[in-house]
Amino acid sequence: MADIKTCPPLSPDSIREAYALIGPNIHHTPVVTSKTLNRIASSPQAASALKGTVFEDQRPAKPVFRLYFKCENFQKIGAFKARGAFHALMRLCDQIGVDEVRKRGVTTHSSGRSHTLTLEAPIANSNLLAGNHAQALALAASTLGVPAHIVMPSISTPSKIAGTKSYGARVVFSGSTEPERVAVVQDIIRETGAILIPPYDHPDIILGQGTAALELESQVIDLLKQPPSKGDIKKDHPLDAVLTPLGGGGLLGGTASYFSNTPSTRVFGAEPSFEGGDDGRRGLAAGSRIPTVSTLTIADGLRTPVGEINWTVISDNKKVQGIFAVTENQIKEAMKLVLERMKLFIEPSAAVPVAVVLFAEEFRRIVEREGGEEGWDVGVILSGGNTTVEAIQKLYRED
């Protein structure tokens, strides 16, 4: 990676510069709306849904939502990770020269998870989702003519292996645990001089991911200028809130950095609660970052702890106003609604912020209290769509 000391600051201007750099190489993904999802989200939850929570026997919130879904499931390689990979690699080429990068090549491993993968995970092909960065780096390297050495667990699905190889990357197999993958990466670095491009915890990655938020805001402004709106919109920054999934924290950190000078737009994170997958939320409550996570949540792209650099952004309450967690069933229900009502194919990790809007009563009460009858315009970043029909069948067959 480019030397952290030479990286631009995590600021809106740096994200604009990142967007100018990577724009020709990424998709300008659409923002879509849904009256049906607005209506469902703006309806009170059933009282039974609050049983066993701190809100039991209280009146369910009745917030008013206007939702704008940023479809990174339509991004290259099917996830927002393409943004960070292109930015990190292009910045590296700018810093040490493209010829030097092509001479040495780049490397990464296909999963940031910190636990042993098992074939008994809730989704049998769980490794399919967590290697989005690996495929993104393979694509970026192929585009720029840079050799890529991608370390993948030997249990990776054939489609994942084929997809990574299709970009011209060299795939090197390893064991399934993170220490085993890291050891192989270190061997590659010693043998080839390849440069490591980490999946989330580096300023260049964070700035690249933040370009999704930049696009989202611009697209919402354009949407609000169209009928049935009358005339110009009332404010320069129309979004009252933006929600993103939280795993390693690159997307949330980048989004929070983009809106860091826009106090009227509040940024929130969304995590799974299963088996302690809500390390970001728990870390905020404890006042310190939680360095390890061991969860088999169905939102397997979020099974990794928040990175150290990302934590400096996420733990700043002027940049991130809260993190909320949802259950496995709530994630499944949100994913089903997006698929059936919006006809959008997303992975479980992408459904987590949707589930927060629908089911996280604490968040819904904030919107009701502060949005009043007018409500909030809320952006939701759908982080990716890298799953399979077989995985979805298995997920809902268990119901």
Task: Take residue 360 and report the two structure tokens written for it.
Answer: 């996280």
* CATH architecture designation of domain 4-78+202-397: 3-Layer(aba) Sandwich (3.40)
| Domains of the chain, residue spans | 4-78+202-397, 81-196
Which secondary-structure segment (H or E) carries 188?
helix 178-192
Give the integer Cα–Cα distance in Å for 88 and 138.
Answer: 12
Q: Tell me, what's the pLDDT at 232?
A: 56
CATH 3.40.50.1100 describes domain 81-196? yes
Determine the pLDDT at residue 78.
94
- Same fold? 4-78+202-397, 81-196: yes
Residue in this structure with the two tokens 């009282």, named with its chain if needed: 47
Catalytic residues: 81, 111
* Buried-state track 298-316, b at ≥16 Cβ within 10 A, e below 16: bbbbbbbbbbebbbebbbe
What's residue 231's pLDDT? 52
Q: What does the pLDDT read at residue 182?
A: 87
* pLDDT the model gives residue 179: 82
Per-residue tokens: 373: 């009858």
Res 92: pLDDT: 97
**Which pLDDT score, from 0 to 100, does residue 154 have?**
84
Residue 155 has a pLDDT of 77
- pLDDT in single tens digits along all 399 residues of the chain: 778 888 999 999 999 999 999 999 999 999 999 999 999 999 999 999 999 999 999 999 999 999 999 999 999 999 999 999 999 999 999 999 999 999 999 999 875 333 333 223 333 333 433 478 989 999 999 999 999 999 988 877 677 788 889 999 999 999 877 788 889 999 999 999 999 999 999 999 999 999 999 999 999 999 998 766 545 565 778 999 999 999 999 999 999 999 999 999 999 999 999 999 999 999 999 999 999 998 999 998 899 899 999 999 999 999 999 999 999 999 999 999 999 999 999 999 999 999 999 999 999 999 999 999 999 999 999 999 988 888 899 999 866
Return the pLDDT at 117. Answer: 30
State residue 391's pLDDT score.
87
Tell whether omega for the bond before 179 is within 30 degrees of 0, i.e. cis: no
The whole-number pLDDT of residue 59 equals 96
